[in-house]
Amino acid sequence: MSLNPRITDWHGKRVWLIGASSGIGLALAQALHARGAQVIVSARHAAALQAFVSAHPGSLALPLDVTDAAAIRRACAEILAGGAVDLLCYCAGHYQAMRATHIDTHSLLQHQAVNVTGALHLLTPMVQALLMQGHGHLSFISSVAGYRGLPKSLAYGPTKAALINLAETLYLDLAPHGLGVSVINPGFVATPLTAQNDFHMPALIQPEQAAEAILQGWAKGQFDIHFPKRFTRLLKLLRCLPYPLYFAAVRRITGL
């Protein structure tokens, strides 16, 4: 079922990807550029952004630290001064495995700052702009780790759960105005973030496969874009279990 306006033709579309210096964000930038979109890439790593622009004529680089609220306001003003934004995708993410037996408060707050607060600082200028232009799409890369509590996900999981809830609420408010909202929930994708994992990652896919799945989701007008299905459907099933069964299943599956 299509919940959003379908995006099938990217020629001439103006797309802003935040967190596009590596991983899924970079793969998305490459795929969208190949389909004719004007891609604006943002991240902290200016050199990586410039390398992308050099290899993809017509794209633009706007270095940005999403933990800097003033910098986000300036970036939004600069982007909007250049014209309408057809799609904004928040790809920025921070991840460090953590359990409650070894809490690192600084890391907890860093996850919150990058994964959630940065997205919140974007909302006022970007939502107002999309409402005024009468079209556009907001998309957030969350994770299946946001579905329910998981071992080693004390810092990461709650932030991704927040993004899922945020996207759901935005959809209810903005869909009546003709705007698209989607949340992207990947399983394991081979990125610099997941490279630190010391456990087997089932159904691991490459960033290019993730980008293709996201483009397919936008083309179908999906709200919840999740992949790979052979893994994410299992997580969705576990999401429906009552707590006694869920906790027992997770302990059995993870051994933790």
Tokens matching residue 64: 């940005």
> Does the residue 234 lie in any domain?
yes
* DSSP state string for 150-200: -TTBTTHHHHHHHHHHHHHHHHHHHGGGT-EEEEEEE--B-STTGGG--S-
In-domain check, residue 8: no
SS (H, E, C) 26-90: HHHHHHHHHCCCEEEEECCCHHHHHHHHHHCCCCEECCCCCCCHHHHHHHHHHHHHCCCCCEEEE
Q: Is residue 1 part of a domain?
A: no
**What pLDDT is stored for residue 192 in this prediction?**
81
**Rounded Cα–Cα distance for residues 41 and 79 (Å):** 11
Q: What is the pLDDT of residue 195?
A: 72
pLDDT for 191-235, tens place per residue? 887 777 777 778 889 999 999 999 999 999 999 999 999 999 999
* Active site members: 156
Q: Considering the entire predicted model, what is its pTM? A: 0.94
Is residue 70, in this structure, part of any structural domain at all? yes
Range of the domain at 174: 14-254
Number of domains in the chain: 1
CATH code of the domain covering residue 234? 3.40.50.720
Residue 9 lies in a domain: no
Could you tell me if residue 3 is inside a domain?
no
Domain assignment of residue 247, yes or no: yes
- pLDDT less than 50: residues of the chain: none
The verdict on residue 42 lying in a domain is: yes
